[in-house]
Amino acid sequence: MLVLTRKSDESIKLGDDITITVIQIKGNTVRLGIDAPSDLRIYRKELFEKIKEENMKAANLFMDEFAKINKALRSKE
């Protein structure tokens, strides 16, 4: 992990087209501004993990249904 120290209004660059700027520091809270292409999805980590978990559940349900359909079709042969 790369660890950087930045002050308010200072930035870091990720590649050519992503800039993260420290907007405000208040106590133990830091406000960040992220300038990135509009097609890049940016999520808080806890939300990203929830989305990933829900996608895995949905994929498993789909695979379960697919297995049932496959079994039913094979039993007709």
- In this prediction, residue 58 carries a pLDDT of 81
Number of domain units in the chain: 2
Whether 4 and 27 map to the same domain: the answer is yes
Indicate the pTM of the whole model.
0.68
Whether 50 and 18 map to the same domain: the answer is no
Structure tokens given for 51: 């989305």
Per-residue pLDDT tens for 56-71? 888 777 777 777 788 7
Per-residue pLDDT tens for 34-52? 999 999 999 999 999 999 9
- In this prediction, residue 52 carries a pLDDT of 92
Instruction: Give residue 6's domain range.
Output: 1-38
Whether 23 and 51 map to the same domain: the answer is no
